[in-house]
Amino acid sequence: MTTTTPSVAEPPASTPAPPQSASSAAKEGLSGRLASGLALVIAILWTIPTFGLLISSFRPEEQVKSDGWWNFFTDPSLTLDNYREVMSGGAGGEALSTNLINSIVITIPGVLIPISLATLAAYAFAWMDFKGRDTLFVAVFALQIVPIQVTLVPLLSLYVDPPFNLQPLAGRDAPAGGLYELWLSHAIFAMPLAIFLLHNFMREIPGELIESARVDGAGHVQIFTRIMLPLMMPAIAAFGIFQFLWVWNDLLVAKVFSSPQVTPLTVKLQLLVGQRGEDWQLLASGAFVSLIIPLIVFFSLQRYFVRGLLAGSVKG
- Asked if residue 287 and residue 223 are part of one domain, the reply reads yes
Res 28: pLDDT: 64
Residue 220 belongs to what domain range? Answer: 90-311
Q: Is the pLDDT of residue 10 over 60?
A: no
CA pair distance 160, 157, nearest whole angstrom: 5
Q: Is the pLDDT of residue 303 over 80?
A: no
Query: What percentage of the chain has pLDDT greater than the value 70?
Result: 77
- Asked if residue 285 and residue 153 are part of one domain, the reply reads yes
Res 244: pLDDT: 92
| Diameter over CA atoms, the chain | 118
Res 110: pLDDT: 92
Domain count, the chain: 2
Per-residue pLDDT reduced to its tens digit, 147-193: 888 888 888 888 877 765 666 655 544 445 578 888 989 999 999 98
Specify if 133 maps to a domain: yes
Res 133: pLDDT: 85
CB-CB contact of 42 with 34 (8 Å): no
Amino acid in the structure at residue 289: V
End-to-end Cα separation, the chain, in angstroms: 61
CA pair distance 43, 40, nearest whole angstrom: 5
How many helices and strands (H and E) does the chain possess? Answer: 15, 0
Listed in sequence order, the residues at least 6 apart from 59 whose beta carbon sits closer than 8 Å to its beta carbon are 69, 72, 77, 78, 79, 82, 281
- Asked if residue 123 and residue 48 are part of one domain, the reply reads no
CB-CB contact of 182 with 111 (8 Å): no
Listed in sequence order, the residues at least 6 apart from 194 whose beta carbon sits closer than 8 Å to its beta carbon are 114, 115, 117, 118, 122, 239, 243
Q: How confident is the model at residue 30 (pLDDT cuts 50, 70, 90)?
A: low
Q: Is the dihedral of CA 212, 215, 220, 223 positive or negative?
A: negative
Specify if 12 maps to a domain: no
- Asked if residue 58 and residue 111 are part of one domain, the reply reads no
Q: Is the pLDDT of residue 20 over 70?
A: no
Q: Is the pLDDT of residue 234 over 90?
A: no
Res 9: pLDDT: 52
Specify if 3 maps to a domain: no
> What SS3 state is found at 268?
helix
Per-residue pLDDT reduced to its tens digit, 274-301: 555 566 777 888 888 888 888 888 788 7
pTM: 0.75
Q: How confident is the model at residue 25 (pLDDT cuts 50, 70, 90)?
A: low
CA pair distance 212, 269, nearest whole angstrom: 54
Span 100-113, average pLDDT: 91
CB-CB contact of 168 with 162 (8 Å): yes
CB-CB contact of 112 with 160 (8 Å): no
Q: Is the dihedral of CA 58, 59, 60, 65 positive or negative?
A: negative
The one-character DSSP state at 249 is T
CA pair distance 70, 156, nearest whole angstrom: 46
- Asked if residue 103 and residue 168 are part of one domain, the reply reads yes
Res 313: pLDDT: 46
CB-CB contact of 268 with 94 (8 Å): yes
Per-residue pLDDT reduced to its tens digit, 238-278: 888 889 989 999 988 888 888 878 888 888 888 776 555 56
Res 111: pLDDT: 93
CA pair distance 185, 257, nearest whole angstrom: 8
Query: What percentage of the chain has pLDDT greater than the value 90?
Result: 10
- Asked if residue 160 and residue 304 are part of one domain, the reply reads yes
- Asked if residue 42 and residue 124 are part of one domain, the reply reads no
Res 87: pLDDT: 79
Q: Point out the least confidently predicted range of 61-75, 90-104, 214-228.
A: 90-104
CATH number at residue 301: 1.10.3720.10
Phi and psi angles of residue 64, each rounded to the nearest 5 degrees, phi first? -65, -40
- Asked if residue 133 and residue 38 are part of one domain, the reply reads no
Q: How confident is the model at residue 57 (pLDDT cuts 50, 70, 90)?
A: confident
Specify if 121 maps to a domain: yes
The one-character DSSP state at 163 is S
Specify if 272 maps to a domain: yes
- Asked if residue 57 and residue 102 are part of one domain, the reply reads no
Average pLDDT of the chain is: 78
Q: How confident is the model at residue 52 (pLDDT cuts 50, 70, 90)?
A: confident
Phi and psi angles of residue 95, each rounded to the nearest 5 degrees, phi first? -75, 130
Q: Is the dihedral of CA 10, 13, 14, 18 positive or negative?
A: negative
